[in-house]
Amino acid sequence: MILVPTAVWCVAYGLMSLAWALGAPGFPFGDGDSRGREMGSLLASAHPVPTGVALGCGALIAAATAVWAMRRPGRAPGVVLLVCAAALLAVVPDVRLLQNLAYSFSGFFGLVDRPVLNQALCVLGAGLLARSAVVLLRPAAVDAGRWLTIGRWATLVAVLAPLPYALQRAAWNLGLPLGVSQRFVDDLAADVAAKGLPAAAAWMLVIPDVVGVLLTLGLIMRWGERFPRWVPLRGGRSVPVWLAVVPASVVSAAVTIAGLVVIRFAVEGGSVSATAAPGLLWLPWGLALGVATYAYAERRRDSESSTNRTTVGAVSTNRAD
Protein backbone atom coordinates (compact mmCIF):
# COMPACT_ATOMS: atom_id res chain seq x y z
CA MET A 1 0.00 0.00 0.00
CA ILE A 2 1.39 3.38 -1.05
CA LEU A 3 0.66 5.00 2.33
CA VAL A 4 3.32 2.90 4.08
CA PRO A 5 6.34 4.06 2.02
CA THR A 6 4.90 7.58 2.10
CA ALA A 7 4.87 7.57 5.90
CA VAL A 8 8.38 6.07 6.02
CA TRP A 9 9.76 8.75 3.69
CA CYS A 10 8.11 11.53 5.67
CA VAL A 11 9.48 10.30 8.99
CA ALA A 12 12.99 9.84 7.57
CA TYR A 13 13.11 13.26 5.90
CA GLY A 14 11.49 14.92 8.88
CA LEU A 15 14.10 13.56 11.28
CA MET A 16 16.92 14.51 8.90
CA SER A 17 15.57 18.07 8.66
CA LEU A 18 15.32 18.39 12.43
CA ALA A 19 18.89 17.12 12.67
CA TRP A 20 19.99 20.01 10.42
CA ALA A 21 18.23 22.40 12.79
CA LEU A 22 20.26 20.93 15.64
CA GLY A 23 23.54 21.48 13.80
CA ALA A 24 24.05 18.25 11.87
CA PRO A 25 26.21 18.65 8.73
CA GLY A 26 24.84 18.41 5.20
CA PHE A 27 22.33 21.29 5.17
CA PRO A 28 21.61 21.58 1.40
CA PHE A 29 20.30 25.16 1.32
CA GLY A 30 21.64 28.65 1.99
CA ASP A 31 25.39 28.60 2.60
CA GLY A 32 25.37 24.88 1.81
CA ASP A 33 24.26 25.55 -1.76
CA SER A 34 26.75 27.70 -3.68
CA ARG A 35 24.68 27.70 -6.90
CA GLY A 36 21.30 28.20 -5.27
CA ARG A 37 20.81 31.86 -6.06
CA GLU A 38 21.76 31.70 -9.74
CA MET A 39 19.61 28.59 -10.23
CA GLY A 40 16.51 30.22 -8.78
CA SER A 41 16.32 28.39 -5.45
CA LEU A 42 13.73 29.85 -3.09
CA LEU A 43 15.92 28.70 -0.20
CA ALA A 44 19.14 30.36 -1.35
CA SER A 45 19.21 32.48 1.83
CA ALA A 46 17.83 29.83 4.16
CA HIS A 47 19.28 29.16 7.62
CA PRO A 48 19.46 25.67 9.16
CA VAL A 49 17.37 26.27 12.28
CA PRO A 50 14.12 27.78 10.93
CA THR A 51 14.29 25.86 7.66
CA GLY A 52 15.08 22.55 9.33
CA VAL A 53 12.27 23.01 11.85
CA ALA A 54 9.76 23.99 9.14
CA LEU A 55 10.66 21.08 6.85
CA GLY A 56 10.85 18.64 9.75
CA CYS A 57 7.49 19.59 11.24
CA GLY A 58 5.86 19.59 7.82
CA ALA A 59 7.20 16.14 7.01
CA LEU A 60 6.12 14.71 10.38
CA ILE A 61 2.64 16.20 9.96
CA ALA A 62 2.44 14.49 6.57
CA ALA A 63 3.61 11.22 8.17
CA ALA A 64 0.91 11.47 10.84
CA THR A 65 -1.66 12.17 8.11
CA ALA A 66 -0.56 9.08 6.18
CA VAL A 67 -0.96 6.95 9.31
CA TRP A 68 -4.38 8.52 9.89
CA ALA A 69 -5.35 7.63 6.31
CA MET A 70 -4.34 4.00 6.90
CA ARG A 71 -6.83 3.78 9.74
CA ARG A 72 -9.56 6.01 8.29
CA PRO A 73 -9.25 6.59 4.53
CA GLY A 74 -11.09 9.63 3.25
CA ARG A 75 -10.96 12.94 1.46
CA ALA A 76 -9.65 14.97 4.41
CA PRO A 77 -6.27 13.18 4.70
CA GLY A 78 -6.10 13.10 0.91
CA VAL A 79 -6.37 16.89 0.71
CA VAL A 80 -3.70 17.33 3.40
CA LEU A 81 -1.28 15.02 1.59
CA LEU A 82 -1.94 16.76 -1.73
CA VAL A 83 -1.18 20.17 -0.18
CA CYS A 84 2.03 18.77 1.33
CA ALA A 85 3.10 17.38 -2.06
CA ALA A 86 2.44 20.69 -3.82
CA ALA A 87 4.26 22.69 -1.13
CA LEU A 88 7.30 20.40 -1.27
CA LEU A 89 7.53 20.68 -5.06
CA ALA A 90 7.02 24.44 -5.04
CA VAL A 91 9.61 25.25 -2.36
CA VAL A 92 12.56 22.84 -2.54
CA PRO A 93 13.48 21.97 -6.17
CA ASP A 94 14.62 24.42 -8.84
CA VAL A 95 15.71 24.42 -12.48
CA ARG A 96 18.68 22.13 -11.75
CA LEU A 97 16.36 19.15 -11.66
CA LEU A 98 15.53 19.58 -15.35
CA GLN A 99 19.09 20.63 -16.15
CA ASN A 100 20.63 17.45 -14.77
CA LEU A 101 17.88 15.28 -16.22
CA ALA A 102 18.73 16.64 -19.68
CA TYR A 103 22.50 16.29 -19.18
CA SER A 104 22.09 12.70 -17.99
CA PHE A 105 21.21 11.62 -21.54
CA SER A 106 24.74 12.54 -22.62
CA GLY A 107 26.30 10.77 -19.64
CA PHE A 108 27.34 14.00 -17.92
CA PHE A 109 26.75 14.12 -14.16
CA GLY A 110 29.32 16.75 -13.20
CA LEU A 111 26.69 19.15 -11.86
CA VAL A 112 25.10 16.63 -9.50
CA ASP A 113 25.92 17.64 -5.93
CA ARG A 114 24.31 17.38 -2.49
CA PRO A 115 21.63 20.06 -3.13
CA VAL A 116 20.64 18.36 -6.40
CA LEU A 117 20.45 14.96 -4.72
CA ASN A 118 18.30 16.50 -2.00
CA GLN A 119 15.99 17.92 -4.66
CA ALA A 120 15.66 14.50 -6.27
CA LEU A 121 14.88 13.03 -2.85
CA CYS A 122 12.18 15.64 -2.30
CA VAL A 123 10.64 14.96 -5.72
CA LEU A 124 10.48 11.28 -4.75
CA GLY A 125 8.73 12.24 -1.53
CA ALA A 126 6.33 14.57 -3.33
CA GLY A 127 5.55 11.76 -5.75
CA LEU A 128 4.68 9.41 -2.89
CA LEU A 129 2.53 12.08 -1.25
CA ALA A 130 0.73 12.88 -4.51
CA ARG A 131 0.13 9.23 -5.30
CA SER A 132 -1.29 8.66 -1.82
CA ALA A 133 -3.56 11.69 -2.26
CA VAL A 134 -4.82 10.41 -5.61
CA VAL A 135 -5.69 7.02 -4.12
CA LEU A 136 -7.65 8.72 -1.34
CA LEU A 137 -9.40 11.36 -3.47
CA ARG A 138 -10.30 9.76 -6.77
CA PRO A 139 -13.84 8.42 -7.23
CA ALA A 140 -14.51 4.70 -7.55
CA ALA A 141 -16.13 5.12 -10.98
CA VAL A 142 -14.16 6.45 -13.96
CA ASP A 143 -15.66 8.48 -16.82
CA ALA A 144 -13.33 7.14 -19.51
CA GLY A 145 -14.85 9.26 -22.28
CA ARG A 146 -14.37 12.46 -20.31
CA TRP A 147 -10.76 11.63 -19.49
CA LEU A 148 -10.09 10.74 -23.12
CA THR A 149 -11.23 14.21 -24.20
CA ILE A 150 -9.24 15.94 -21.46
CA GLY A 151 -6.22 13.80 -22.25
CA ARG A 152 -6.29 14.67 -25.94
CA TRP A 153 -6.32 18.43 -25.33
CA ALA A 154 -3.66 18.19 -22.62
CA THR A 155 -1.48 16.01 -24.85
CA LEU A 156 -1.78 18.52 -27.69
CA VAL A 157 -0.43 21.28 -25.44
CA ALA A 158 2.29 19.00 -24.04
CA VAL A 159 3.41 18.14 -27.58
CA LEU A 160 3.50 21.70 -28.95
CA ALA A 161 4.94 23.57 -25.95
CA PRO A 162 8.49 22.09 -26.01
CA LEU A 163 8.98 22.57 -29.77
CA PRO A 164 10.18 26.23 -29.67
CA TYR A 165 12.97 25.29 -27.23
CA ALA A 166 13.98 22.28 -29.34
CA LEU A 167 14.03 24.36 -32.54
CA GLN A 168 16.07 27.12 -30.88
CA ARG A 169 18.60 24.65 -29.48
CA ALA A 170 18.85 22.85 -32.82
CA ALA A 171 19.61 26.16 -34.55
CA TRP A 172 22.36 26.93 -32.04
CA ASN A 173 23.87 23.47 -32.48
CA LEU A 174 24.01 24.13 -36.22
CA GLY A 175 25.84 27.39 -35.57
CA LEU A 176 22.84 29.61 -36.32
CA PRO A 177 22.45 32.52 -33.85
CA LEU A 178 18.66 32.32 -33.56
CA GLY A 179 17.67 35.19 -31.23
CA VAL A 180 21.23 35.53 -29.89
CA SER A 181 24.67 36.70 -30.97
CA GLN A 182 27.19 34.52 -32.76
CA ARG A 183 29.46 34.82 -29.73
CA PHE A 184 26.74 33.26 -27.56
CA VAL A 185 26.56 30.27 -29.90
CA ASP A 186 30.35 29.91 -29.90
CA ASP A 187 30.42 30.09 -26.09
CA LEU A 188 27.87 27.27 -25.89
CA ALA A 189 30.07 25.04 -28.03
CA ALA A 190 33.07 25.92 -25.86
CA ASP A 191 31.10 25.06 -22.72
CA VAL A 192 30.32 21.59 -24.09
CA ALA A 193 34.02 21.06 -24.84
CA ALA A 194 34.99 22.32 -21.36
CA LYS A 195 32.81 19.60 -19.82
CA GLY A 196 34.87 16.99 -21.68
CA LEU A 197 31.97 16.04 -23.93
CA PRO A 198 31.97 15.53 -27.71
CA ALA A 199 30.29 18.18 -29.85
CA ALA A 200 27.42 15.76 -30.54
CA ALA A 201 26.53 15.90 -26.83
CA ALA A 202 24.92 19.30 -27.44
CA TRP A 203 22.14 17.45 -29.25
CA MET A 204 21.28 15.71 -25.99
CA LEU A 205 19.35 18.86 -25.11
CA VAL A 206 17.32 18.49 -28.32
CA ILE A 207 16.88 14.75 -28.83
CA PRO A 208 15.10 14.19 -25.47
CA ASP A 209 12.58 16.88 -26.49
CA VAL A 210 11.85 15.11 -29.77
CA VAL A 211 11.69 11.67 -28.16
CA GLY A 212 9.56 13.12 -25.38
CA VAL A 213 7.06 14.49 -27.90
CA LEU A 214 6.73 11.05 -29.50
CA LEU A 215 6.31 9.33 -26.13
CA THR A 216 3.78 11.95 -25.05
CA LEU A 217 1.65 11.03 -28.06
CA GLY A 218 1.56 7.51 -26.64
CA LEU A 219 -0.64 8.82 -23.83
CA ILE A 220 -3.55 9.03 -26.29
CA MET A 221 -2.60 6.49 -28.95
CA ARG A 222 -3.09 2.75 -29.16
CA TRP A 223 0.61 1.93 -29.00
CA GLY A 224 0.74 3.69 -25.64
CA GLU A 225 -1.52 0.98 -24.22
CA ARG A 226 -0.25 -2.05 -26.11
CA PHE A 227 3.27 -2.60 -27.44
CA PRO A 228 3.48 -2.72 -31.27
CA ARG A 229 4.00 -6.20 -32.72
CA TRP A 230 7.55 -5.40 -33.80
CA VAL A 231 8.77 -4.74 -30.23
CA PRO A 232 11.02 -7.66 -29.16
CA LEU A 233 9.71 -9.88 -26.34
CA ARG A 234 6.83 -7.53 -25.46
CA GLY A 235 5.17 -7.10 -28.86
CA GLY A 236 1.37 -7.23 -28.66
CA ARG A 237 1.33 -7.20 -24.86
CA SER A 238 -0.20 -4.56 -22.64
CA VAL A 239 2.07 -1.66 -21.65
CA PRO A 240 2.43 -1.59 -17.84
CA VAL A 241 0.75 1.56 -16.58
CA TRP A 242 3.75 2.49 -14.41
CA LEU A 243 6.07 2.36 -17.44
CA ALA A 244 4.27 5.36 -18.92
CA VAL A 245 3.13 7.14 -15.77
CA VAL A 246 6.37 7.21 -13.74
CA PRO A 247 8.70 8.76 -16.38
CA ALA A 248 6.00 11.18 -17.55
CA SER A 249 5.34 12.26 -13.96
CA VAL A 250 9.04 12.88 -13.30
CA VAL A 251 9.41 14.97 -16.45
CA SER A 252 6.18 16.82 -15.68
CA ALA A 253 7.45 17.76 -12.22
CA ALA A 254 10.90 18.82 -13.46
CA VAL A 255 9.51 20.92 -16.31
CA THR A 256 6.84 22.57 -14.15
CA ILE A 257 9.40 23.51 -11.50
CA ALA A 258 11.79 24.92 -14.12
CA GLY A 259 8.91 26.83 -15.70
CA LEU A 260 8.07 28.49 -12.39
CA VAL A 261 11.70 29.59 -12.02
CA VAL A 262 11.81 31.04 -15.55
CA ILE A 263 8.60 33.00 -14.99
CA ARG A 264 9.83 34.28 -11.62
CA PHE A 265 13.09 35.46 -13.19
CA ALA A 266 11.10 37.18 -15.95
CA VAL A 267 8.88 38.98 -13.44
CA GLU A 268 11.79 40.02 -11.24
CA GLY A 269 13.87 41.17 -14.21
CA GLY A 270 11.02 42.98 -15.91
CA SER A 271 11.86 41.51 -19.31
CA VAL A 272 12.52 38.23 -21.11
CA SER A 273 15.64 37.55 -23.17
CA ALA A 274 15.54 35.61 -26.43
CA THR A 275 17.35 32.73 -24.74
CA ALA A 276 14.70 32.46 -22.01
CA ALA A 277 11.61 33.08 -24.15
CA PRO A 278 10.95 29.39 -25.00
CA GLY A 279 11.18 28.66 -21.27
CA LEU A 280 7.97 30.62 -20.72
CA LEU A 281 6.18 27.63 -22.24
CA TRP A 282 7.67 25.20 -19.75
CA LEU A 283 5.02 25.82 -17.10
CA PRO A 284 2.06 25.06 -19.41
CA TRP A 285 4.08 22.17 -20.86
CA GLY A 286 4.68 20.61 -17.45
CA LEU A 287 1.12 21.14 -16.24
CA ALA A 288 -0.37 19.79 -19.49
CA LEU A 289 1.88 16.73 -19.35
CA GLY A 290 0.77 16.11 -15.77
CA VAL A 291 -2.90 16.31 -16.75
CA ALA A 292 -2.35 14.08 -19.79
CA THR A 293 -0.54 11.53 -17.63
CA TYR A 294 -3.31 11.46 -15.04
CA ALA A 295 -5.94 11.13 -17.78
CA TYR A 296 -3.99 8.20 -19.23
CA ALA A 297 -3.77 6.50 -15.84
CA GLU A 298 -7.51 6.92 -15.24
CA ARG A 299 -8.42 5.53 -18.66
CA ARG A 300 -6.16 2.54 -18.14
CA ARG A 301 -7.70 1.96 -14.72
CA ASP A 302 -11.16 1.94 -16.28
CA SER A 303 -9.99 -0.39 -19.06
CA GLU A 304 -8.42 -2.85 -16.63
CA SER A 305 -11.49 -2.74 -14.37
CA SER A 306 -13.72 -3.55 -17.35
CA THR A 307 -11.45 -6.43 -18.35
CA ASN A 308 -11.50 -7.81 -14.81
CA ARG A 309 -15.30 -7.57 -14.65
CA THR A 310 -15.60 -9.39 -17.97
CA THR A 311 -13.22 -12.12 -16.80
CA VAL A 312 -15.06 -12.59 -13.51
CA GLY A 313 -18.39 -12.72 -15.35
CA ALA A 314 -17.12 -15.34 -17.78
CA VAL A 315 -15.75 -17.48 -14.95
CA SER A 316 -19.05 -17.24 -13.05
CA THR A 317 -21.01 -18.25 -16.16
CA ASN A 318 -18.78 -21.25 -16.78
CA ARG A 319 -19.18 -22.39 -13.19
CA ALA A 320 -22.95 -22.05 -13.45
CA ASP A 321 -22.94 -24.19 -16.59
The pLDDT profile of the chain, 321 residues, written as one tens digit per residue, is 899 999 999 999 999 999 999 999 999 999 999 999 999 999 999 999 999 999 999 999 999 999 999 999 999 999 999 999 999 999 999 999 999 998 888 788 889 999 999 999 999 999 999 999 999 998 777 777 888 899 999 999 999 999 999 999 999 999 999 888 899 999 988 888 887 877 778 888 788 888 899 999 999 999 999 999 998 988 889 999 999 999 999 999 999 999 999 999 888 887 778 888 899 999 999 999 999 999 999 999 877 765 555 544 544 555 555
- pLDDT at position 307 is 58
* Judgement on whether residues 120 and 209 belong to the same structural domain of the protein: no
Domain range for 70 is 1-33+45-94+111-138
* Judgement on whether residues 128 and 174 belong to the same structural domain of the protein: no
Compute the residue count for the chain.
Answer: 321
Give the C-alpha separation, 160 to 167, whole Å: 11
Give the C-alpha separation, 37 to 33, whole Å: 8
* Judgement on whether residues 155 and 126 belong to the same structural domain of the protein: no
In a domain, 151, yes or no: yes
Nearest to 199 by CA among 219, 180, 174: 174
In a domain, 103, yes or no: no
* Judgement on whether residues 229 and 302 belong to the same structural domain of the protein: yes
* Judgement on whether residues 207 and 254 belong to the same structural domain of the protein: yes
In a domain, 150, yes or no: yes
- pLDDT at position 200 is 79
182-194 and 163-173 helices cross at what angle (nearest 10)?
80
* Number of C-beta neighbours around residue 195 at 10 A: 13
How many CA atoms does the CB half-sphere of 202 hold within 13 Å? Answer: 20
In a domain, 245, yes or no: yes
- pLDDT at position 320 is 54
**pTM of the full structure:** 0.87
Domain count across the chain: 2
* Judgement on whether residues 235 and 276 belong to the same structural domain of the protein: yes
Give the C-alpha separation, 209 to 290, whole Å: 16
In a domain, 212, yes or no: yes
In a domain, 104, yes or no: no
Which residue type does 257 have? I
* Judgement on whether residues 294 and 206 belong to the same structural domain of the protein: yes
Q: Give the three-class secondary structure for 227.
A: coil
- pLDDT at position 271 is 77
- pLDDT at position 308 is 53
Element (H, E) at 178: none
Phi, psi of 32 (to 5 degrees): -85, 5
